[in-house]
Amino acid sequence: MEIDSTTRCVVALDEVVQTLEQGRVRRLLSGKPSDKMILECVGCGHLQATEGSCQYCKHSLMVADCAQEVLIRKAVLTDAEIAVPPLEALNARRGVAALLRF
Ligand SMILES: [Zn+2]
């Protein structure tokens, strides 16, 4: 896959979660594991990086899980490639990014 200026990518954790859920991620770039958590809705399975009740079904029971694990699991489910980039820059940032299909 070519990476050029037209390649869409997202770097914020909440955007990565959102685009993964939409099946738009072509390649997940996972840096060093962070201690960030992602909440998974018990009601509908929706993932979100922000605290509070589910933004989709308003279910109040959310299970927190290691962000890195959740993202990789979701990437596998949506046929996204998973890459560990040798980019110190990425590690120094939020530790995760995604290149999008569209
Ligand atoms: Zn929900």
Residue 62 CA, ligand 1 centroid: distance in Å: 8
Is residue 70 in some structural domain? yes
Residue 39 CA, ligand 1 centroid: distance in Å: 10
Q: Looking at residue 84, what is its pLDDT?
A: 75
Q: What is the pLDDT along the chain (102 residues), one digit of tens a residue?
A: 556 667 788 888 889 999 999 999 999 988 766 678 999 999 999 999 988 999 999 999 999 999 988 999 999 999 999 987 665 655 555 578 899 998
Is residue 36 in some structural domain? yes
Q: Looking at residue 85, what is its pLDDT?
A: 67
Is residue 4 in some structural domain? no
Residue 63 CA, ligand 1 centroid: distance in Å: 11
Is residue 1 in some structural domain? no
Residue 87 CA, ligand 1 centroid: distance in Å: 35
DSSP-assigned letters across all residues of 12-65: SHHHHHHHHHTT-EEEEEE-S--S-EEEEETTT--EESS-SS-TTT----EEEE
* Parent domain of 58: 9-100
Is residue 89 in some structural domain? yes
How much is the CA Rg of the chain, to the nearest whole Å? 13
Is residue 90 in some structural domain? yes
Q: How many domains does the structure of the chain reveal?
A: 1
Residue 45 CA, ligand 1 centroid: distance in Å: 6
Q: Looking at residue 7, what is its pLDDT?
A: 76
Residue 73 CA, ligand 1 centroid: distance in Å: 18
Phi, psi of 93 (to 5 degrees): -85, -125
Residue 43 CA, ligand 1 centroid: distance in Å: 5
C-alpha span between 1 and 92 (Å, rounded): 24
Is residue 91 in some structural domain? yes
- Paired sense of beta strands 96-100 and 81-83, if any: unpaired
Is residue 92 in some structural domain? yes
Structure tokens that stand for 46 in this block: 């929706």
